[in-house]
Structure 1
Amino acid sequence: MITLYREMERGKEFMMRQELIDVAEASGLSEHAIGPNNSRNSRNEGYSYTGWNSMKTLTNKDLVEKKSNPAKYYLTEKGKETARDCLARSGLDGPAGPLTAAGHPAVELSDSDSDEYDGSSPLIGSERSGLPNSKAGSSSSFGNGHAINSPLSSRGMFGQQSFSAMGSAEKCLLAVPPHQSNESFLKAYEVVLILYDRDTFGPRSRRKVIDNIRSQFNIPVEIKHLPVGDALWIARHKELDTEYVLDFIVERKNVDDLLGSIKDNRYKDQKLRLKKCGLRKLIYLVEGDVNTVDGSESVKTICFTIEVLEGFDVQRTTGYADTEKKYGHLTGSIIDYYSRNFSVGVDTSRLCLTYDEFVKRCSDLEKVTMSDIFALQLMQVPQVTDEAALAVTSLYPTLLSLAKAYTMLDGDRRAQEEMLKNKSDMVNAGASKNIFKLIWAEG
């Protein structure tokens, strides 16, 4: 879809199948082969999936239109809007440079521009993210050395929700602290930004960072030894002093550390821990200029993938000072969201974990189980997302338990290939089939 959009911007009205495959593969956007791969040494040997399988989904979703014989592929208006949106969120520049969601060139912010931002626009909320009655906000993409401010009118700061968090109306509501009917959020609770006690801000001391955020944004900031993540927010009851963890958590990475974690696979383990911590809004904060590292395209692709496909919210900052401001603006937006939605869906919302419950839950994540290892193995299979892997391991915690389930189908190949798809909405047909091939490989 992005390839079609880029070629359309260069004047092409449509693309033929092989031309589209060749250009898309040359772009480096896909982790797997897009066209048929006949190499015997292919790392995808044994799997029938290629990137071209996604074309059916694009046409079914009215993002791409197929005409004529031989087929010509056109991008629909809906597809153009979606492609612009993806480019704006990922920082994968179009032919005319970075694009905003509206399709206009993005404006680069210098450090002085960033200082002048007063945070007056709410940063949380949209229909798409399941946060009701919210105004548009802003999100930033990778630019050439600076954060790019790209208005995303349909989304706000917190973008696409994790697939596992979408569905019925009650699932779209964030967890809330306990409250009495008609009780005001700010009357009952104080929101506190909690920073990880081992996180560093370059030459700045933690005390200096805390003082900066407090003085600029008039919010309480504390340091704790967090079991997961680098920042989160608690709602502390003003009378009882009970602390509840709000439904937001930040994993902060400078670009060098992120690239290193991609290379040694720490990234996948850290991402899995975040997904299992029990909080719904997972924020990946990438700090620094991605264009200064050798593996910049890898970093951009990872950010694009975890945001658009996996539901994380990826935020970018230029450096330490910008990160302090980001924390301040996020805190204000979280307070604003809970103030306006504290009584929404009282009977259907999940209750926030207490801080002690959160720590206990996360301490269990330190123990690596057979199920965790199995999930990481499944994530290497084509078309198996993190959500799909976790869905499978919730049904079958080990490879042996899954293999036994296949044997119960008495050699019915089709039933075996479709078993996981039929068991969980998180597993699509291709993933279901590929997992069966992994477990029940022939020859």
Structure 2
Amino acid sequence: MSESEIECANPLFLKWVNEWYQDACRRNAKTQFTLKKALKSLQRYPLRIENAQEAMQLEGIGQGIADRLAKKLASWQKENGIVVPQQQEEQTEGTGNNVANPKRRTPRMYVPRYRTGAFALLIGLYKAHCLYGQDYYVPRSELIPLCEQYTDTPFHVAGSSTGRGGNSVQHTAWSGIKTLESKSLVERQSGVKFCITEEGLRIAEKVVELLRTRNELPDEDNRVFTEYESRNDQESDAISNEFSDRLELASEGSLSGLSESSKFDRPLMRPLLNRAPSSSARASSNGFSRQSSLADIADIELADLILYPKADYDIILIVDSREVHSPADRALIQKELEDHGVHTEIRPLTVGDYLWIARTKATSANRHLPDIVLDYVVERKRMDDLCASIKDGRYREQHSRIHGTGFTNVFYVVEGTNPEAVSRLGENAVNTALSRIQVHHGFHLKRPPTYEATLRLLRQTTGVLQATLGDVYAIPNQFVGQKEFAQTKKSIRSRFPNSSLAMSFEAYDVVSNKSGTLCVGEIYLRMLMTMRGVSADKALTIARRHQTLEQLLKALKAQSGRKELEEIVVDGTCRKIGPALAKRIAEFWTLDAFD
């Protein structure tokens, strides 16, 4: 069993899913994509799962994988002589009555009846999956327009029937969503948002293929489904085994927006300047490599790193701008920190709420060197924030990003108690999460009662760093990539265990920025939403009509393009884009230059 399986809260499930994933990769089976998501979900899930059906709450685990896990678990329990209470009761009853348990029939795969509400909703959810990605939860107002043409039952105008006792029962096509939920084909979020599950995806693909053979698939939808299938085929051809060759996987993604002229990218380093640049270093024109060559790291010497002598730098505490909600907050920070000799700055931080940087003194000979981020970061949460983040999944995502930045000294501050929030989530769940913060993630858990106590903790920590931190060695940008930086830093630290390592603030932004993994469609939507008056629903409506920026520009440059944009009805409403907003959009995207 691997180290990751031992640390996982559910090591057996992780081990079995890993084996199935490896086998699917070797056979190049399409199930590898589903199993890959299931594997990542199990690795990140912080709580213990008692049975296979409970695992279906995780992304990537549908009824099919849950059944396989249940069979594997039953076999493992039998081999190890483990009898769970329910099994023991069944065995006792079977022995006492001398009646053999009847053989269970394998349940048939559920397929919604042709042109019912469930049938239409399943196709609409599949279309949303194809258009916006696997993690997109589509609101009801956006889902209904995707479904209406596939059912004979209206979604909004109810027909009445008589139920028991002569009561009138209203039925619409939307009632099918409950059927899909009961069959675990759809997941619900925040009450009114929905996403197709892996099991639902498998059935929807078969339904769409059947409609295609019967020539009942509209041309526009057929194009959407065909493009999605084509993208999946390309991914299947290009995918590599993540566990056997993680460095190759780390070459995915791109980095942008970094200064080419940074002096930090060209340090005076004797051995590295004498060596020819690696292929990974040549691949990036901004000084940041997409992946780090282990051969280069193995050859690194301490002189290759950039030295910040203790006497040449000051330590500054950086406060995330989101922590400062009002002038009163700023005054409190200044009173508690700056009055005690702690230099502070307020900046937007992509990971963590507080961190420390080293800045060379103006009198130093190294004053040209940029700020570097020290190996210390603080993530602060009130108890109600912690409970909410566990519930909506931000808890796992934030921890993953902290680990990705390579910080080894992480202070996880949970402020206050809030018994009401704890009781809503469950005391056992909260205690398990707090334990995993320390044991599994290796963070330093702190429990100050108030925000003022948190600021005192920051002041004390700053004082300790100023007193004990010596020379600091910064990792050159050419060894900083968006993928696998934590592993790179770990490899360098193993070579120089007694040295303090850091990275430039520019590099910190690269390895921690969430937007580095945005797909083209998400960037397109964000571009639309930067304009005043373009809300999320309007951006989605425009993107559905013109699915790429190129299509939008082509339409706007046509003579009738602006008029067509005015008449577009926003999904789920009776409102149109309108002439004022259409004019603003057209002028913004078609002007040759701005004043």
TM-score, L = length of structure 1:
0.41
* Structure with greater proportional helix content: 2
Q: Which has the higher contact order (CA 8 A, sep 6+)?
A: 1
Larger radius of gyration: 2
